[in-house]
Structure 1
Amino acid sequence: MAAPEILMIEDRKDDRDLFEAAVLASGLNATVTHASDATAAVVRLNRLGGYAGKPLPALVVLDLGLPGLKGKTLLQVIRTAYNPREVPLVVLTGSHRPDDELACSSWGISAFMIKPQDFAELVRWVKSLERYLPSSDESGDERRRVAGVVNEAGGKPLDSQRL
């Protein structure tokens, strides 16, 4: 079975590279893919273009400071289409605004982390994400089926009109 996919929605290449290095250092069995803005994220999550027929990512990691459509708005768009068991979503952000975590929590995030300055702390947090990934003997789709949350229609497309 292929390693589960973690979709990281982050515009800064250095932050994407650091997250990918933390995944490797943590020993997490996952493949990291990237979307640098909301449009690319919607294409991936709606399984358009080259993503047709591919399963949803096992986990989405979202930065709030995206260019254009902000991360909190994208979070709302994703949560309108997919519930937390269909697409677990965690926030990894540089934002230090106290209300961000509360606002994101109201939209059903699984975890919230301000980007740490210490790489070892990032590795520990990344390792904790393992609980959101399917085990090696089940696919993400099987995990969702067992949880009883798979939408019979295959999920609702994300509303690109809100972008």
Structure 2
Amino acid sequence: MHLRKETCYECEKHLRYMESSPAKQMGVTMHMGERFCTGGKRARKFKRNDPKIYVPSWCPRRKIPSELRVYCFKSTIDWMLHERLCYDLGKEISPEAHRYAVLYELHTPFSPMEFARRCNEEPDAETVGAAVHRHYVVEIDDGISPAFFYKTERGYELLALFDAETARKNKMEDTN
């Protein structure tokens, strides 16, 4: 698994002041070449010891602790269809968000990078704090960018695409 470390340059709240004359904006005086985060009520100047590219620890978007969501199949029919497709094709298939719903919403001290490093080496009880069955999806949202992990027979795999908004709107169906 390889997660890309997020940078401030991708954020719409990142500002590099490039005017030749200083100006007071958002509660601070800005000088040419200085970098600011405009995510809060006031702009915050990047200090010398802050990361030059990557997101600093004080980022206003960062969630501490990170949110953790476990998605499972919303119905037995969706689970059976997915299992059957995997069996017939002879391989794991990517999850489709319209078949999933939120099972657990928890908090975790791990960032998506830390979770990716530990998830296949430690039991779910230590990393997730709940049971995660095969073909479930785990989301770690640190506020900067959420990461999705798909549990397979071989362990967790990083998902490139998963529509969490659709899955969060779904409700568990009672299939008695």
TM-score interval, smaller chain: under 0.3
**TM-score (normalised: structure 2):** 0.24
